[in-house]
Structure 1
Amino acid sequence: MRPWIKRTLFGLFGATVALGGLTACGHRYGHERYSSMSAAEQAEFRKRATDRVASRLDLNEDQKKRLDALLAKLHEQRVALRGATDPRAEVRSLVAGEKFDRTKAQALVSDKLAAVNTRSPELIAAFGDFYDSLSPAQQDKVRDVLQHRRHGWWRRG
């Protein structure tokens, strides 16, 4: 093979690999994918998640409503835990001075624990209502998925 053909093929291969790498890394949302979505995008994401789980478990309409209620409670819990401000900025503010701000750190932890304590009963009740509405075969599917952590919650592969 002639040298210029080899160089051209290697160049095309390298450009393809580079373009593929840039495409793979250029996804729309960064590390905070869900939190950077708008409220409408989050609602659409929850709807797709509900539809996906419903199709895997063959849920009826009542079970879908309970699953949707559970996902709404999970979202409320997440928003309450995250708070109104950026969590990373809160942590950075703890170490912004010469010394670690222990009182502010304790207040931050107390706020997060209060959010968990106040919203947990509702979340547990929503999960219990959803799980109890499942048939024994559907419950077996849920237990099987939870037991095989290698693939996570219904991921491909």
Structure 2
Amino acid sequence: MTQNRISPIRTMTFGIAAIACVGLSGCQRETGDEPLQLTGKIFVFNYRLAYATYMLTFEKKEALPEGSFVVASFENPAGGAPLTLERKVFAKQTKIVLESPDITCVHKEKPYAVTVELRGPDGDILQTLKTTVTSNLDQNVLPAKPLVIGPAYEKNPEVFRDGKVPAHFETASCAS
């Protein structure tokens, strides 16, 4: 007669595997906590068109209800009311990019507040993200006027008088 005995090594291996499985499942994020993950935040300075914007990027971590949207509120570096932006989130999107309206008066090394709310189709808040964006440049790196105009990026006659490059470009300034 043969005995059906399980070896101690096999028992120990099974026990370690079971503990590992339970431990790993405890590390997984539960669904519904954070559907969007912030993956990047910068200021964009468009030298040719003489404007700056905030840009934030997000990765969608889970499916969202059809009709969901984001509402972003950007601190206005020039002062006054925050600048707002609303964008629909599409089902097949995996990445979301938010670019603010044009801004002025960005100061180097000053943190500016941004709040992004993910809302469901009924307007209920699904997630709120608060962050700051800090520039390593001042707004005065930009020209005071766009260097090009129009859809063909023609030279701006206010900058390039008589078609000639000025000896010095006037730079953007801010009263504050």
TM bin, normalised by shorter chain, reads under 0.3
TM-score using structure 1 length: 0.27
Higher RCO (Cα < 8 Å, 6 or more apart) = 1
Question: Which has more radius of gyration?
Answer: 2
